[in-house]
Structure 1
Amino acid sequence: MSHDVFNQAPPLTGHDVSADPALLDGVKREDADWALGELRTLGTLAGSARAQEWGRLANDNPPVLRTHDRYGNRIDEVEFHPAWHELMGVAVEHGLHATPWSSARPGAHVARAAKFYVWSQVEAGHGCPISMTYASVAALRHTPALAAVWEPLLVSRTYDFGLRPPAAKRGVLAGMAMTEKQGGSDVRANTTTAEPLGDGSYALTGHKWFNSAPMCDVFLVLAQAPGGLSCFLLPRVLPDGSRNAMRLMRLKEKLGNRSNASAEVEYDGAAAYLVGEEGRGVRTIMEMVNMTRLDCVIGSAAGMRYGVTQAVHHATHRSAFGAPLSEQPLMRNVLADLAIESEAATAAMMRLAGVTDRAIRGVRGEGALRRTALAASKYWVCKRAPAHAAESLECLGGNGYVEESQMPRLFRDSPLNGIWEGSGNVAALDLLRSIVKEPASLDAFFDEVDLAAGADRHLDSAILKIKESVTDTSDLEYRARRVVERLALVFQGSLLVRHSPPAVADAFCASRLSTDWGHAFGTLPSGLDLTAIIDRADVKIN
């Protein structure tokens, strides 16, 4: 070798991913401090070289569709690298899927959110079937008879991969299929039909353009029944062991999310069972969508946390022009700005997890807040994730642009949560509709942000302006993105003012909620305590 290797950052391994002050503060605040031990165990595994290698291998070896066996029989199976199964096994064992539904303990859904956030930083793609399994229970409970059969298997902490009759399995996973070629988000344009067979089941015929995680055991599907668009439960394997008539036509070749399979499917008289009532399919499946939208926020917050920790770690160990990057003023501005964005996303997702937990347990008023705050956060946090990933990658320079750094994977994955479960316009318009139909949800939102009244002049001014803006109904749909953005920002600002260190809250409000904020990261105003912000975002390697 012609030279010594020096001035390179060491691998970021051997740390506890859960040692995140914003995360831990939220866990304690939202009634889940009883789960801190479990969280540390998972966080230590997430920071290990072994787990990070699983993430790399699962993405370098994407799933493969096997439509037929060697004899020509239709099998429609998806084959995964062993690393995928390691990731899934850990996720299920630690209850990142549907386990909270079997617990009446306050904070169960918060604990699950925190663990999902930590483990998603190892690899994001396998979170898709985990998230949908979690969300499926909310919809399935519309039909108690079906829930009685499937819920015990969905909440099981045993990962039991493979297509077999449900009765022969120790645990199952759920997927979802809503959109079709001609409709996309306009699911009422769906053409897949559901014919009642007289024995309580239906025969589904048609197609789905995106079937998420087609290797799962059961799916919630939208189809047109005699009474209108309805929600159905469709198992992959029937009780007699035969394959249901759900044909996997091809796997999507995607920008990111490469470890996970997404498929185009066709149904040829596939057996399915009504969930909820005929004609109320959108309302029924929205129970599932609202849970997966929460996971979109969590997943984007997790990606931001991963990005900023990688950026700070690199800048701490890399020198240029005579000093460590982390000590140079402009880089410090960038790092602090990334850290603020990350903490704001984490604070929002933990509050939303707490609201969700209490709404599920029937706590009065929490459901109204959830309707507005979740939609606003889904729009904004997921919208910020790609820009955050790009800036985090840039902090590593050329080292961040090569696949070995895993930063390109972060960047490719970052747009997905903004698209999944309703892209930006869908999320923004959903929020406007909820405000019109349920004014109490907007009242609950402003009651929440007003808890921080008087603590920061930028926040006070921003709240006043958005109250005026949202009550002005002229061209409101045209302005929807701007309105929802400001709602999300005052929600984050109020949380940081109330719960984060002054350095973080002051910097957030002085930039995001004032006119003195540039268009790129690294444009924070002067006079802020950047040292405290960056130190809070740093990770410690054991």
Structure 2
Amino acid sequence: MSAYDTHRVFNQAPPFVDVNLVTLDQPLLDALTANGVDPVQEGLLSFGEAWGAAERFELGRLANENPPKLRTHNARGERADQVEFHPAWHALMAASMEAGLHASTWDRMGESSAAPQAPARNGAGKTGPGKNLPGANSFQGRGHVARSARLSVISGVEAGHVCPLTMTHASLASLAVAPERLSQWLPFVRSRQYDPRFLPFWEKRSVNLGMGMTEKQGGADVRANTTTAAPVQDDEYEITGHKWFMSAPMCDAFLVLAQAPGGLTCFLVPRFRPDGSVNGLRFQRLKDKLGNRSNASSEVEFVAAFGWRLGDEGRGVRTIISMVQYTRLDCVSGSNGLMRMALAQAIHHARHRMAFGRKLVDQPAMTLVLADLALEMEAITALTLRLAASFDAAGSDPAEAAFARVVTPAAKFFVCKTAPGFIYEALECLGGNGYVEEGPMARLYREAPLNAIWEGPGNIMALDVLRAASREADEMVAVAGQLAEEAGGMPGVAEAAKDLGDALRGDNPEWRARFAADRLAGLATAAALRRSAPAAVAEAWARTRLATPRRIYGANDVGHLAPRLLERALPLI
């Protein structure tokens, strides 16, 4: 045997690239149609082709292998406080912004007649936005279903750059409480021309917005924040303090919580003051994270930083929670995309890899694992797009608005917590090939826990379900009844509905908060599957997840559906 022969590569799967990430996903196509979106008319097929190109996958690899760097000072010793990114990051951002991932659901809302302008120090020149712009807690965007599908696709290719897209998109819900700020920033937010230059926002083609809530001593308990905001004049304040996590520090402005004289308040803090000078944001360091390596997360000091108040003093949580509701939907969509890519990689590998004389996909134990993962993916996709549809309809349908409020925390709880275990199982299907950094599986696995932590971890989501049941009891009853009716007749649905009611009515419901969130998510998922998936698929999920305890992947009785599930998950290519 020659030296050449010893290094001949065979029995390896070809790269999963130059594929259409939408047309190869039948559950996604079905869920889009069921929720009122035509994939062809919406341009999703060409989108799936563009993001399945080898070039996009390579950009994702490069962006993660060359993480951002913080430049606190320039060569002259002056403060710089800028974050530098690899060109791959900028290319991904440009592609996603061109597709509108940062703003598309607001395209149809009312426009302000005011031209873009620099903010006036004296408050002059303030013009209100159109009357149909999104309001706090209103869920009045359009196109959430199509955007959720797009966000899922790009998350599977490279999830790190999703953060500033999500923050920018969601910020308009909070800016709406300050019409003059909204009218100033809206044209720049809506622009599809990515502009990473470090300039005052009124000199740019577009902007991105970030968020800073978390402090060292507070974490999720933002009311414990100590950052202060001193009034200067009108809605202008001077902010001093520290943020332990501030998302996307390269952004042009940030929604920040600080203690004003009247209590915890929300502020818009730009990188540049209205006079064009650099604002007092001093970046201390970038976080060294488990995953999400391409994205920058920072610690920052506010040194007499300029900020505009958004909403009334003391109502900061209420102001920013409207933004958080949108970001939670993105967490669900992002986790859906991570799992989808992991499943596609696993099936693709198993169809090409030989072991013990047969393709892996034809080995019964492996077949069952992949089919069980595919069944879970059907459920996750159906729930994700059904939730997005409720955001679309909420502005005109009170029942859908209630659905969005009640189901969002439960869906985030279920979907984002499912992702790490799901992706691990898919990674194991590749063996050692899944564990090394050359392929995407290791990156997907490191990314998986993040969406469960962002915008409120599991306990916060479960407690939000309880709060919804306590504050809007009639709404919770109506939504649960609707879900049980829509999923009626499937195995375990009646029992799940009873379990949910018992958990919410118990003497100490906090003990069963996670149980309640899990059962609510199960009902919502069963109803979503009944809406978009084949009847046999919906019934199999309910039978193996609701009627009986969920078992480890590959131990649930779905073998009779295996060929159909795998073909729906990834048609032969």
TM over 0.5: same fold?
A: yes
Q: 2:148 aligns with which of 90, 113, 134?
A: 113
* CA shift for structure 1 position 393: 0.4
The TM-score, its normalising length taken from structure 1, stands at 0.96
Question: 1:17-416 residue pairs with structure 2 within 5 A?
Answer: 17-19=21-23, 20-33=25-38, 36-103=41-108, 107-359=142-394, 361-416=395-450
Provide the C-alpha distance between the structure 1 equivalents of 2:368 and 2:349, rounded to a whole number of angstroms. 15
Task: Report the CA distance shift for 1:125/1:453 in structure 2 as closer, same or farther (over 3 A).
Answer: closer
Q: AA paired with 1:457?
A: P
- Cα distance, 1:516 vs. partner? 5.3
Task: Please tell me whether the aligned partners of residues 108 and 142 of structure 2 are also in contact (alpha carbons under 8 angstroms).
Answer: no
User: C-alpha offsets along residues 332-358 of structure 1, whole Å, 9 cap, x if unaligned?
Assistant: 111011111112111111011110111
1:479 aligns with 2:512: yes
DSSP 3-state at the match of 1:133: helix
Could you tell me whether the CA contact under 8 Å between 2:409 and 2:464 is conserved in 1? yes
Secondary structure of 1:254's match? Answer: coil
Q: After superposing the two structures, state which structure 1 stretch, 321-330 or 378-387, moved more.
A: 321-330
Q: CA–CA distance in 2 between the matches of 1:507 and 1:312?
A: 20
1:379-436 residue CA offsets vs partner (Å, 9 max, x unmatched):
1110010001110100000110111111110000000000000111111111111110
Superposed CA RMSD:
1.6
Take 1:481 and 1:248, find their aligned partners in 2: how far apart are those partners?
37
Counterpart of 2:54, as a letter, is A
Displacement of 1:238 in angstroms is 2.2
TM-fit CA distance, 1:109 = 2.0
Deviation at 1:486, TM superposition (A): 1.3
Contact persistence 2:480–2:520 (CA under 8 A): no
Q: Which residue of 2 aligns with 1:501?
A: 534
- Alpha-carbon distance in structure 2 between the residues aligned to 1:496 and 1:207: 45
Structure 1 stretch 421-430 or stretch 33-42: which is displaced more? 33-42
Check the 8 A contact 2:214/2:245 in 1, yes or no. Answer: yes
Question: What is the alpha-carbon distance in structure 2 between the residues aligned to residue 297 and residue 396 of structure 1?
Answer: 25
The structural deviation recorded for 1:23 is: 1.6
The letter for the 2-side match of 1:399 is N
Say which of 497, 501, 510 aligns to 1:463. Answer: 497
In the alignment, is the contact (CA less than 8 A) between 1:193 and 1:206 conserved in 2?
A: yes
Q: Which amino acid aligns with 1:188?
A: R
Q: CA deviation at 1:25?
A: 2.0
SS in 1 for 2:322: helix
Moved more, 335-344 or 444-453: 444-453
Distance 1:540 1:336 in 2: 15
- Alignment partner, residue 510 of structure 1: 543
Could you tell me the TM-score, scaled by structure 2's length? 0.91
- TM-aligned CA distance change 1:277 to 1:516, over 3 Å: closer
SS of residue paired to 2:547: coil
* Percent identical: 50
Aligned mates of 1:526, 1:16 — CA distance in 2: 27
Q: Which amino acid aligns with 1:55?
A: G
Displacement of 1:101 after TM fit?
0.8
Q: Verify the 8 A CA contact 1:176 1:221 in the aligned structure 2.
A: yes
**Residue 18 of structure 2 is aligned with which of 14, 20, 24?**
14
Deviation at 1:26, TM superposition (A): 2.2
CA distance in 2, matches of 1:526, 1:539: 19
Given the superposition, is the C-alpha separation of residues 445 and 351 from structure 1 closer, same or farther in structure 2, using an over 3 Å criterion? same
Instruction: Report the Cα offset of residue 467 of structure 1.
Output: 2.8
- The alignment of Structure 1 onto Structure 2 pairs a total of residues equal to 538
Deviations 1:124-143 (A, max 9, x none): 00000000001000111011
* Equivalent residues of 1:506, 1:528 under 8 A apart: no
- The one-letter code matched in structure 2 to 1:141 is A
Q: Provide closer, same or farther for how the CA distance between residues 260 and 248 of structure 1 changes in structure 2, counting only shifts above 3 A.
A: same
Q: 1:181 to 1:35 in 2, by over 3 A?
A: farther
Deviations 1:134-192 (A, max 9, x none): 10001110111110001111111110112111111111000000010000000000000
Is the Cα contact below 8 Å between 2:227 and 2:258 reproduced in 1? yes
Conserved in 1, the CA contact under 8 Å of 2:487 and 2:530?
no
The 1:539–1:103 alpha-carbon spacing in structure 2 relative to 1, beyond 3 Å, is: farther
Q: Deviations over 1:304-351 (max 9, x none)?
A: 101111111111111111111111111111101111111211111101
Q: Give SS of 2:319's match.
A: helix
CA contact (8 A) 2:215 2:225 kept: yes
Matched position secondary structure for 1:529: helix
**Aligned CA distance change for structure 1 residues 404 and 274 (closer, same or farther; 3 Å):** same
Residue among 414, 420, 425 paired with 2:454: 420
Query: Which amino acid in structure 2 is aligned with residue 522 of structure 1?
Result: G
1:98/1:155 contact within 8 Å kept: yes
Partners of 1:175 and 1:216 within 8 A in 2: yes
Change in CA separation of 1:338 and 1:268 when aligned onto 2, cut-off 3 Å: same
CA distance 1:454–1:272, change in 2 (3 Å): closer
Unmatched 5+ residue regions in structure 2? Answer: 110-139
Amino acid in structure 1 at the alignment position of 2:373? L
Q: Distance in 1 between matches of 2:438 and 2:537?
A: 32
Match in the other structure for 2:125 = none
Deviations 1:41-77 (A, max 9, x none): 2211111110000000000000000011100110100
Distance change in 2, residues 1:352/1:158 (3 Å): same
**Matched AA of 2:561:** D
1:246-273, Cα deviation, whole Å (9 max, x unpaired): 1111000000000000000000110000
